Structure 1
């Protein structure tokens, strides 16, 4: 794994402590927030993603006297997520982490508070999983590279959508703009980005399950389309390094996945046309959708775009949620 992933050392809560197997005192409870993410970033299917400031999920984790993991509460999910720790992405990924440090003897109680919509294309399962992993790593006073958590987070993604991709969990874990250079071996690189880049996100309230959205993608592509896509990915990465927003904008074109997935999103192309006319730098699908996003040069333009797109969706009887954010470079954080 590349070593240019920033290290996180959040403060521990100084409460009633317990002692782990290494006789190191750790806090007995913690609350962690982890952010939503935009994956693919139009042309970078499964290899590019970035974190945003909101929405996100919160996990409260407590050490208990009884070995094993329990999930005592889940809120904000309308009853859709399992309390069974063998079937929940948070507890499953945490269990993998505990096995890796030989601490399966520990007892944990988990509360998951969904502060973001499920099935939005904004990395809902990733935010939950990363919050849980960051919580247990901090509780265990584990100061090792946060990159060690990424394979466990990918296990959660595999459970959630059938494919252990990293373009949501990596930016949720590390913050910022992330490139998955390779999956075998896993090699992740944080990319720079223009500081003034804003993201306008709109989530239409329609159902686009991630598994189904992956199944409609073509398995074979034309060489000319592959060449176009490679050029766009290289152009986007170059634009990020050069802080060239124009180059970023003209590189964010997808000839492979968007033409298929856009059919699942009501009025995708009319919304893109509206966003570009209002001053967007680029426009595309967030993850597998149905959320869409636009990059802009300022907050005012981003706000205007989501207002106009939300009104458009209202006119065709579709409810929606909207968010405006810069790129979140911090990733998960301790909130209590």
Structure 2
């Protein structure tokens, strides 16, 4: 039985344009790291957090990582276990890339490793969702499920929870740009309409079905034309500087599709190769710089592994 472990968990792109709260995929970078050590004293303690500029709580009941670990230990009947947690944020908070999800998943994977893998990654999804509830007020799975399982994931149902891993084209690549502007997840969720027109709902259902079919059949054209959001994007895009200008740039440069990652402000384009993705991120960053907005960029194929033990 191990006494300590270091775990990396990946960032994720949630919603994937048309799949609000039901679709997501993992990427290789960025991500978060957790170092977890057994302690002789019962209970879960967070002794150190780096990379958060002091924004995250050390209180075990208020931090998504420790709270999820506490729930896990209670579930397996071992609330007496003592662990010390170090959280190392390697990705921006509030980026729309599943920052809280990556931390939570790294913590859950670490405690499960220390406890001899009593649960499968899929069985840990509900515990990770509790962490999301603490972070943004709503326990959705479109970030935590792909972070735990890797790949492309569909959340078919929440009650009961039904999470399905989807196939996807091998060459599929994400070009991600994070404009350094503040779009809190809670605020972004509040902007969403509580009621939608039936004709809009029908469009969205068709697009989700088309995207899933495109992933199964490796049909890039179908993937591209299905990634249209008539429900959420029209409102959330207001919070993202030059969103439609960036979309036009990405599409002109060969993107399959373009949209908001999670609740934003990060945006992403899907491409058929890394070279195109790299060119797109450079062009989008140049556009943002022209309006005095700094940004970070990431280029990654779809991450198949999910969380991994680093040592």
TM-score (norm 1): 0.92
Q: What is the CA distance between 1:298 and its match in structure 2?
A: 1.0
The 1:144–1:89 alpha-carbon spacing in structure 2 relative to 1, beyond 3 Å, is closer
In the alignment, does 2:212 pair up with 1:212?
A: no
In the alignment, does 2:82 pair up with 1:110?
A: no
Secondary structure of 1:71 counterpart: strand
* Residue 65 (structure 1) aligns with: 40
Partner of residue 271 from structure 1, selected from 246, 256, 279? 246
* Residue 15 (structure 1) aligns with: none
* Residue 257 (structure 1) aligns with: 232
Secondary structure of 1:69 counterpart: strand
Partner of residue 281 from structure 1, selected from 238, 241, 256? 256
Secondary structure of 1:293 counterpart: strand
Number of residue equivalences: 311
Partners of 1:310 and 1:267 in 2: CA distance = 11
Secondary structure of 2:12 counterpart: strand
Q: CA offsets per residue over residues 134-178 of structure 1, 9 Å max, x none?
A: 000010002432211111100000000000000000000000000
Secondary structure of 1:179 counterpart: strand
Structure 2: segments with no counterpart, 5+ residues: none
Q: CA offsets per residue over residues 250-287 of structure 1, 9 Å max, x none?
A: 10000000000000000100000011001110000000
In the alignment, does 2:285 pair up with 1:310?
A: yes
Matches within 5 A, 1:60-209: 60-209=35-184
Partner of residue 273 from structure 2, selected from 282, 289, 298? 298
Q: CA offsets per residue over residues 47-67 of structure 1, 9 Å max, x none?
A: 000000000000000001011
| RMSD, matched Cα | 0.6
Q: What is the CA distance between 1:78 and its match in structure 2?
A: 0.4
In the alignment, does 2:12 pair up with 1:56?
A: no
Secondary structure of 1:171 counterpart: helix
TM-score (norm 2): 0.99
Partners of 1:276 and 1:243 in 2: CA distance = 19
Secondary structure of 1:157 counterpart: helix
Partner of residue 245 from structure 1, selected from 199, 207, 220? 220
Partners of 2:36 and 2:81 in 1: CA distance = 12
Secondary structure of 1:295 counterpart: strand
Higher Rg of the two aligned structures: 1
Secondary structure of 1:35 counterpart: strand
Structure 1: segments with no counterpart, 5+ residues: 1-25
Q: CA offsets per residue over residues 43-102 of structure 1, 9 Å max, x none?
A: 000000000000000000000101111111100000000111111000000000000011
Partners of 2:45 and 2:164 in 1: CA distance = 34
Partners of 1:144 and 1:90 in 2: CA distance = 17
Partners of 1:149 and 1:261 in 2: CA distance = 30
Secondary structure of 1:53 counterpart: strand
